[in-house]
Structure 1
């Protein structure tokens, strides 16, 4: 079921968000609408997509697994810092905006929010994340189409789509032509085979903690 605010159509949890014609000003208004505080809001090429932010158990399980994977990976990288910002809004005014499931900054110069600023990261003022990812259940088609083009337009160097039903990770690196090309080895998590992430997903029926521990054992051999 979907419902309509005075201006916007909002998709309920588990449903495919509807992209609706809108302006950048409509997007900003949606971000500032108190009734949409928990929503995930996207804008690209004159279209707005809104879906409620609460996660189902399976989506949450996959999402938390990748937070653990980041932690496990960077514990092996002495002196390398990272910041994981799940669901944080990133935007380039007039270009596009989104709230990826995973936003990863590697190294220093993380975004520092200042009191009084919008609760969004303006990529014209802050550096772009090194990696963003989407947990795809009902949204796989959009994650591989509209959102893929959106994150390329935002200049995100690497984009992951975590396919829940297919138990696989699709990874893309941004090319000089401004488009994504699928890759087998991560550039952000340097040297990490994407196939290893897909293999880790297949263990989720044993719990994401067990899957993460298996992942930790495997990267010890890289």
Structure 2
């Protein structure tokens, strides 16, 4: 295990589930993100950049505002662990449970046990340095977990690569399927505006678009 510890940042390492549990217990201490998939683990440093944090806030506000205005029950989660013990583990930047699932996870839950509860309807990764992996291996992970929709926010280019997922496959979309009427282009414009406006101004613009 000691030989693995120098290689645990932002890369997939072959490891048993027991090694993964030891790694996250010894090294993360809530200061990073962790993933386990097909006998490999990936530990990421906690995001620290202004751009990542700004995009994170804007996308959560935009999705929650749209849900509220359209009367769609929604519960958003920030960097929550979803786990199939011994098989898969992930900590997406943002996740949403919608409609009849909006209150399916009880208050007081720590790690969300996916052997007991369904996967989120929407998962979002904010990609500052992890874009290729978010579009590749993590997308495969979320396909297998039966997430309904997956977005990758490309921070550098203010772009959102969105997929609808079914039957362990995925297809690019330009309008959300879990939030009908929500155009991905509108969210991208909000991200671009956030570079020159404060977030209150971006919020007012989004409100004008959604009403």
- Fold-level match, TM-score > 0.5? yes
Report the 3-state secondary structure (helix = DSSP H, G, I; strand = E; otherwise coil) of the residue aligned with 1:202: helix
The answer to whether the 8 A contact 1:85-1:103 is kept is yes
CA distance in 2, matches of 1:55, 1:18: 18
Show CA shifts across 1:16-67 (max 9, x none).
Answer: x011111122222233336533220011111111012243211110001112
**What is the aligned partner in structure 2 of residue 72 from structure 1?**
65
Question: 1:106 pairs with 84, 93, 98, which one?
Answer: 98
Report the 3-state secondary structure (helix = DSSP H, G, I; strand = E; otherwise coil) of the residue aligned with 2:171: strand
CA distance in 2, matches of 1:145, 1:212: 31
**What is the aligned partner in structure 2 of residue 198 from structure 1?**
188
Question: 1:171 pairs with 150, 157, 162, which one?
Answer: 162
**What is the aligned partner in structure 1 of residue 52 from structure 2?**
59
Note if 1:189 corresponds to 2:179: yes
The answer to whether the 8 A contact 2:176-2:182 is kept is yes
Show CA shifts across 1:160-219 (max 9, x none).
Answer: 00011111111101123x111111110121221111111211101113332232122111
Instruction: Structure 1: give runs of 5+ residues left out of the alignment.
Output: 12-16
Instruction: Structure 2: give runs of 5+ residues left out of the alignment.
Output: none
Note if 1:95 corresponds to 2:95: no
What's the TM-score once normalised by structure 1's chain length? 0.85
CA distance in 1, matches of 2:2, 2:207: 45
Question: 2:138 pairs with 147, 161, 164, which one?
Answer: 147
CA distance in 2, matches of 1:183, 1:35: 34
Residue-pair matches, total = 207
Note if 1:124 corresponds to 2:115: yes
Do the aligned partners of residues 28 and 136 (structure 1) sit closer, same or farther apart at CA in structure 2, a change above 3 Å counting? Answer: same
CA distance in 2, matches of 1:52, 1:189: 31
CA distance in 2, matches of 1:208, 1:165: 18
Report the 3-state secondary structure (helix = DSSP H, G, I; strand = E; otherwise coil) of the residue aligned with 1:30: helix
Do the aligned partners of residues 135 and 190 (structure 1) sit closer, same or farther apart at CA in structure 2, a change above 3 Å counting? Answer: same
> Aligned-pair distance for 1:5?
6.3
The answer to whether the 8 A contact 2:143-2:166 is kept is no
> Which contiguous aligned blocks of 4+ residues in structure 1 show a shift greater than 4 angstroms?
4-7
**What is the aligned partner in structure 2 of residue 14 from structure 1?**
none
Aligned-CA RMSD value: 2.0
Out of 33-42 and 101-110, give the one that drifted further: 33-42
